[in-house]
A and B are shown apart, each in its own frame.
Chain A
Amino acid sequence: MLSWLERQIPKIILAPTFAAVTVFVYGFIAWTAWISLTKSRLLPNYDFAGLIQYRRLFDNPRWDMAMGNLMVFGLLFILLSMVLGLWLAILLDQQIRAEGLIRTIYLYPMALSMIVTGTAWKWMLNPGLGLESLVQRWGFDGFRFDWLVDPDRAIYAIVIAAVWQASGFVMALFLAGLRSVDGEIIKAAQVDGIPDWRIYASIILPSMAPVFMSAFIVLAHLAIKSFDLVVAMTGGGPGYATDLPATYMYAMAFSRGDLGQAASSAMVMMMVIFAIVVPYLYSELRAKHD
């Protein structure tokens, strides 16, 4: 039989990870949570001061703007990525020649850094030399496409780049989902003469509900954490027009020297993510136990 030491090996192996997770995940959450309940500015101050930082946060028009932008950006990003991804998956599911090549083309943006994506789209959406001037050259002199520098529209420019980056990934998820639907049922429906679109609408898509759910979770998570793309494309501007919670938090932590605000905004971000993820994980885990 194994010696006592041998039996402890799995625990010894996991001990560093246990320690790292305890400190770097849970310890750090606790630290940030505590700082969000103090009057910390440039330096941490550990005296409890109640919800003063959260009151400051919700009174701050810049935070309102960031949360409003997150709503607009998040909803459009999730909706457009899902619709486009699903549509592409259905198109690709029609026994396409060169499917592998086309899939590769649709998905490659996911391999790029958001900074690279942002750099490319910033150049293309540049009103003076980008797509706007291209269309004007084609003879449409009045064509305007200056969203990137328009405070009311800049957030939509970021949505375009984000959808470009993530929709291929949603396509890959949906395509895998489409291919795991029971082929027998579909054959039976075809024999009954049911048109293809009805087979999709009534049989295939409803059976893919879990795939919709995981695509939604991933996209929502991506949206709430969005930071790089905004930094690369607009830097949060014009003004604060494209500020998101993540850029707000970063500005407070590293350029404004307002640790209390940074901590409280980070906590709000975490709570929003967990409000979405925890019910999902809970139902997933329960489903497995049943």
Chain B
Amino acid sequence: MTDQPVPLSAAPAGMRVTRPRLRRMALRAGLYAMLAGFAAFYLLPLFVMVTTSLKGLEEIQSGSLVALPREITFEAWSKAWSGTCTGIQCEGLRPFFWNSVAMAVPAVILSTLIGALNGYALSHWRFRGSNILFGAILFGCFLPFQVVLMPMARVLGLLGLAGSIPGLVLVHVVYGLGFTTLFFRNFYVTVPGELVRAAKIDGAGFFRIFASIFLPLSLPIVTVTVIWQFTNVWNDFLFGVSFSQAGSQPVTVALNNIVNSTTGVKEYNVDMAAAIIAGLPTLGVYVLAGKYFIRGLTAGAVKG
């Protein structure tokens, strides 16, 4: 993939004389209008979420969906963070947000670490059956998790991890390994084998070669993998709702409980504030490191 844009509209100047300048300008204007229209379509939900979260309930009931708040209030935000009810508890999203942090951080670190070693071993220390093993790991990337939900629930119970955050960490590490291994393997495969062979002849072992040749090269792929894993683990709902209990739920499950609770007055402003809070970490990662986010997305897409 090259970043060189194909210069379609920058054709040799002589070829364009035939097309009247006015028409060309109208075409450009139409093009930008269309791009702006689509940008509005993608931004509208975010805009509505933010403005709704800053309004009072009364203003929501009486005002327009897309109007800016007449009076900005952060009440909904503080309620969403520390006061609203998620089922029986009424402590807001805060404890669940930290549950998600406690789940995502170890799960991301462990699956990235194991994926790096796996990818290294599979790309430069091949043995009989290592390709079959790689295929078997890859296959897991396509698995619809519904197939493993019930046996996983039983195994977590047997391990004494049912309804716990360490249990969720285990689940996310196990089912994240396919992608992390794939990412690292495909990256390390591009390192010349001669380099590794020369190091072996000099007497360097598995870990020595990893630390002195591969690790220094790994920053880009580590970034891609960490972002990919973090986004997936943070945004997961299926595992969270299947394997957690009242106290150990991740933020996505708590958000859904807030929004889809049937009791009491619907506080749309609190719902929206809660949704933004739950989305902020991954959105922040995307804004800060969008390039790596897209790279993970497309790499994961093309191969799995």
Q: What are 29 A-to-B residue pairs whose CB atoms are below 8 Å? A: A10-B130, A17-B114, A23-B155, A28-B148, A28-B151, A28-B152, A29-B147, A91-B34, A92-B35, A93-B6, A96-B32, A102-B39, A111-B231, A111-B279, A111-B282, A113-B255, A116-B279, A120-B272, A123-B52, A131-B65, A134-B65, A196-B8, A225-B144, A228-B237, A232-B259, A250-B149, A259-B150, A266-B146, A269-B147
Contact A123 B268 (CB under 8 A): yes
Q: Tell me the smallest distance from the CB of B162 to a CB of chain A, in Å.
A: 13
Extra pairs beyond A17-B114, A18-B133, A114-B237 (7, CB < 8 Å): A2-B205, A17-B177, A102-B39, A106-B42, A112-B279, A246-B238, A262-B146
Total residues of chain A contacting the partner, CB 8 A: 102
The answer to whether the Cβ of B302 comes within 8 Å of any Cβ in the partner chain is yes
The answer to whether the Cβ of A53 comes within 8 Å of any Cβ in the partner chain is no
Closest to A184 in B: B6
The answer to whether the Cβ of A108 comes within 8 Å of any Cβ in the partner chain is yes
Of A123, A168, A178, A265, which one neighbours B42 at CB under 8 angstroms? Answer: A168
Task: Report B-chain residues with C-beta under 8 Å of the C-beta of A225.
Answer: 144-146
Task: Report B-chain residues with C-beta under 8 Å of the C-beta of A45.
Answer: none
Of B15, B133, B255, B301, which one neighbours A14 at CB under 8 angstroms? Answer: B133
Selected interface stretch from A62-70, A73-81, A270-278: A270-278
**Once the chains are docked, how many angstroms separate the CA of A92 from the CA of B35?**
8
Contact A112 B282 (CB under 8 A): yes
Q: Tell me the smallest distance from the CB of A91 to a CB of chain B, in Å.
A: 6
Mark interface residues in B46-59 (1 if CB within 8 Å of A CB, else 0): 10110010000000
Contact A231 B237 (CB under 8 A): yes
Task: Report B-chain residues with C-beta under 8 Å of the C-beta of A180.
Answer: 1-2
Majority SS at the chain A contact face: helix
Contact B290 A107 (CB under 8 A): yes
The answer to whether the Cβ of B44 comes within 8 Å of any Cβ in the partner chain is yes
**Once the chains are docked, how many angstroms separate the CA of A30 from the CA of B127?**
27
| Residues of B participating in the A interface, judged by any CB pair closer than 8 Å | 1-12, 15, 31-32, 34-35, 38-39, 41-46, 48-49, 52, 60-61, 64-66, 114, 117-118, 121-122, 125, 127, 130, 133, 136-137, 139-140, 142-152, 155, 174-175, 177, 181, 200, 205-207, 231, 234-238, 241-242, 252, 255-256, 259-260, 268, 271-272, 274-276, 278-279, 282-283, 285-287, 290, 293-294, 297-298, 301-302
